[in-house]
Structure 1
Amino acid sequence: VTIMLINNLQPMTSDSAHVLWRTLTTAPPLPSPEPEEKAPLRAIDLAKKIRQEKREEERTTKGIKPTATPLQKRVSELKQFTQQLQNVHPNVLAKHLHKTMLFQNRDVIVLNKPYGVSVKDHGGGTCITAVLPILAKMMDLKVDSELQPCLGLEKEVTGTLLLARNQEAVDNIVYLHRHNQIQRKYWAITVGVPVPSEGVIDIPLIEREIAGTQHHFKMGLSPMFRLNETGEGVSRIRAHRQAESAVTKYRVLDSRAGCSLVELEPLTGLKHQIRVHLACALGCPILGDHKYSSWTKLAPQKLPENVLGKLGLEKSKTRNLTLHLHARQMVLPGTTSQPEIRVSCPMPKYFTKALQRLNLIFPDEKEPN
């Protein structure tokens, strides 16, 4: 039908075209369509709206925050872990350390160090050393007793912290440590699975300056060997005079979905040794290690999508992740008069929650083969 109509059209003359043009240009504009009226609010919708507003008003009056989403709850939970004891009164920190003490005898004390609290004063909130006199009073120690931290832990590391109760104990601990007779084991959650699953990392460390827009310093590897130009075999190179020996034993306890629970035993005690060996030597940075997950810049750790999903986080919220490195166990050798001292420290809450979310299992919880 359409084709027939088009074929029956007569050709337009110049006069008729002129009339059509004049009609189109002088015709009044078409009236704009009237806006559609909104549907009237139903009584049931109005009642729901009033009830919702009333509930929010009551929550505000009582000081209750609006219901948080699962993501907001997770971020709030992480922030709470990091800020729990960083800026508390010294008496509060001393009381917490006393309550969570792991071991004591006439020579040493082993504390359960919380996250985010420095052992020594670095100008950032309450430190453990500053509250030791208060702790000594709580323990009713002798007046001449002076608690001294030995083999300190980094601010972001939790777990066993060794204190000496007298100078003789300090000297003994220094001797044992120098001769590698104190065994310390750490647990870490890593992003990535170390290959091989067990081994010894023997690569010296050196502090390096990172230039650029974010000028900073980091501990880095200073290898003693390099690959030959052919790619086959290695050649020994001269060690940097400022590099120091660093040796770490490790073994994977469990791995799943690109993450691992790793046990580490440092045979030397350099700054950030475990973190650098995991991130730079094995390519498996510790979960929450924002310093060593990227070498050239300081930025929140980037995590794979599947790990973010299991942790219940978005990319923009990874900055709230804590460092998942825990001093799990300490063993001091026995003497003729004293037995061996073996102290294990329970995992902090944020660590166990991360293990659960990542489906990583403690070794003693695995089903027998």
Structure 2
Amino acid sequence: MKPAYETDLIVEDYLDGSRIDRFLSRHFRNYSTHRLQRIVQAGFAKVNGIPAEPLQRVFRGQQISILLPEPPDKTYQPEALPLEILYEDAWLVIVNKPPAMIAHPAGNIHSGTVANALQHYLDQQTGIRSLLRPGIVHRLDQFTSGILIVAKEHLGHRSLSIQFQQNRISKAYLAIIRDQPPDDHFENDAAIGEHPTQAGVCMSTHPQAKKAKSAYTRFEVLERYTGYSLVRAFPQTGRLHQIRVHLADLGFPIIADDFYGNDERLETDRCLISRQALHAEQIEFAHPVTGLKMKLSAGAPDDFHQALERLRSA
């Protein structure tokens, strides 16, 4: 492992006028601003070949040379966990998240997450522990499987975050639901907010839901079984638990969903699958650097296929 890391950076348009420590913190997200201030004060940063001042501002097109003599102070614990890589380049890595794996550490959970696995994966590429920090751009619920986009550097993370915020990324999910919708194509445009009475992370279409925001999801029925259906969902907005809430609101909750399908049929659902039967199947977006159209698909995990086989053979 190298004792230090040295590189040259060019100030991007959107960071024009930033303080040098804040500029550096965009590129090295595992380093705190305070740590980077110390590195600048120690003379390890130059602007166009001239040693930088601690509070100096940098401007578009300037060359910033930096030597990082110290290890980062904000890190995910790297763990050699198996991950299916769907796509990778210098800016992105896209994975097929397995069910039950959390995207990143939260609360009392510090290990066993996608971020821990990717930290180890990226460390193998750079040879320097935690030089790169996996930037998970969007969320998938813990028990939802499927496509997860992760940025390797700040510019890609920023561009993709904007695309998600502006609903310019197309997504498709597979879900196994209870009962059979009367039509093959249906939709729900009910606003979604925090449940007015239930505590915890529970969303609702209730008229008195707190902080409600507009939401819209299209659905198509792919297969029908006795008492169940396989549907594809196309969320046009990105609200928390949107697909789960919209299906439950229509009376077709996703099977084995603890939050939105928790009734007398839950135990029957769990004979088919132990977690909510929701899989992020497809995604389409503009590459954050090249601008090229990207379209990826991820196969559903074994438990999802096994549930379908049981329903098809019933």
Query: Which category of TM-score, normalised to the shorter sequence, fits these structures?
Result: 0.5 to 0.7
Tell me how far apart the structure 1 counterparts of residues 105 and 287 of structure 2 sit (CA, whole Å).
32
For 1:246, the equivalent position in structure 2 comes to 215
TM-score by length of 1: 0.57
Q: 1:322 to 1:335 in 2, by over 3 A?
A: closer
Alignment check: 8 A CA contact 2:96 2:298 kept: yes
- Which one has the bigger strand percentage? 2
Tell me how far apart the structure 1 counterparts of residues 187 and 80 of structure 2 sit (CA, whole Å).
41
Q: 1:102 to 1:286 in 2, by over 3 A?
A: same
1:331 aligns with 2:284: yes
Matched residue SS, 1:132: helix
Tell me how far apart the structure 2 counterparts of residues 333 and 148 of structure 1 sit (CA, whole Å).
17
Unpaired segments ≥5 residues, structure 2: 1-76
Q: How does 1:144-293 map to 2 (within 5 A)?
A: 144-210=131-197, 218-223=202-207, 242-280=211-249, 282-293=250-261
Tell me how far apart the structure 2 counterparts of residues 264 and 113 of structure 1 sit (CA, whole Å).
18
TM-score by length of 2: 0.67
Matched residue SS, 1:359: helix
Number of residue pairs matched?
234
Q: Once the 2 structures are TM-superposed, how far is the Cα of residue 241 of structure 1 from its aligned partner?
A: 6.5
Tell me how far apart the structure 1 counterparts of residues 202 and 160 of structure 2 sit (CA, whole Å).
28
For 2:97, the equivalent position in structure 1 comes to 113
Q: Once the 2 structures are TM-superposed, how far is the Cα of residue 146 of structure 1 from its aligned partner?
A: 2.8
Larger Rg: 1
Alignment check: 8 A CA contact 2:185 2:219 kept: yes
1:357 aligns with 2:310: yes
For 2:121, the equivalent position in structure 1 comes to 135
- Which one has the bigger helix percentage? 1
Matched residue SS, 2:160: helix
For 1:91, the equivalent position in structure 2 comes to 79
For 1:301, the equivalent position in structure 2 comes to 266
Q: Once the 2 structures are TM-superposed, how far is the Cα of residue 289 of structure 1 from its aligned partner?
A: 0.7
Q: 1:355 to 1:149 in 2, by over 3 A?
A: same
Alignment check: 8 A CA contact 1:209 1:216 kept: no
Unpaired segments ≥5 residues, structure 1: 1-88, 224-238, 361-369
Tell me how far apart the structure 1 counterparts of residues 141 and 251 of structure 2 sit (CA, whole Å).
21
For 2:72, the equivalent position in structure 1 comes to none
For 2:5, the equivalent position in structure 1 comes to none
| Letter in structure 2 aligned against 1:321 | S
Partner deviation per Cα, 1:274-310 (whole Å, 9 max, x = no partner): 1110012x2111111122114xx7x77154xxxx7xx
Matched residue SS, 1:341: strand
Alignment check: 8 A CA contact 1:90 1:126 kept: no
Q: How does 1:4-153 map to 2 (within 5 A)?
A: 91-93=79-81, 96-97=82-83, 100-122=84-106, 123-124=108-109, 126-140=112-126, 144-153=131-140
Partner deviation per Cα, 1:215-257 (whole Å, 9 max, x = no partner): 655211135xxxxxxxxxxxxxxx8662111111111111121
Matched residue SS, 1:353: helix
Q: Once the 2 structures are TM-superposed, how far is the Cα of residue 180 of structure 1 from its aligned partner?
A: 1.6
| Letter in structure 2 aligned against 1:283 | G
Tell me how far apart the structure 1 counterparts of residues 123 and 209 of structure 2 sit (CA, whole Å).
48
